[in-house]
Amino acid sequence: MSETIFHKIIKHEIPADIVFEDEHLIAFRDIAPQAPVHVLFVPKTDVATLNDLQPDQSAIVGRLAVAAADYAKREGFAEDGYRIVMNCNGHGGQTVFQIHLHLLAGAPLGRFGT
Ligand code: 5GP
């Protein structure tokens, strides 16, 4: 599996604005935010795309979702609401091939589309 920029962030080899970290995952602000709040939740286990996630690895994505919701509650915008997104491959717009969950919040968000 090829190393991505997110692997370097996980290893603290390059800087990132980290907002949460535990033994399973790391969360940091997106370098090109698409909303007032845009945080990426990245597992420390190597999984390139959602297509590569094995059935016995489902807890990896569950932990990302729980960490995102916990962050929203801690930061006080959980009740206002937020969006979580995972992009997969070309048509999904994935550019970094280590799975990650986008948390977008801080303003009413547009509907999905192209
Ligand atoms: P994807 O398009 O793969 O779903 O999302 C990748 C995200 O990573 C993009 O929103 C992009 O702005 C963000 N990103 C790419 N490189 C870096 C980086 O070096 N640092 C941070 N914090 N975010 C990055």
Q: Is the pLDDT of residue 1 over 80?
A: no
The residues with which 37 forms a beta bridge, in sequence order, are 105
- Cα–Cα distance for residue pair 43/26, rounded to 1 Å: 6
Q: pTM higher than 0.95, yes or no? A: yes
Per residue in 18-45, pLDDT (tens digit) is 999 999 999 999 999 999 999 999 999 9
CATH number of 5-105: 3.30.428.10, 3.40.50.300, 3.30.450.40, 3.90.1310.10? Answer: 3.30.428.10
Which protein residue's CA is at the shortest distance from atom 21 of ligand 1? 31
Confirm if 103 and 71 have CB atoms less than 8 A apart.
yes
Q: Ligand 1: distance of its center to the CA of 59 in Å?
A: 23
Q: What's the pLDDT band for 2 if we cut at 50, 70, 90?
A: confident
- Domain residue ranges in the chain: 5-105
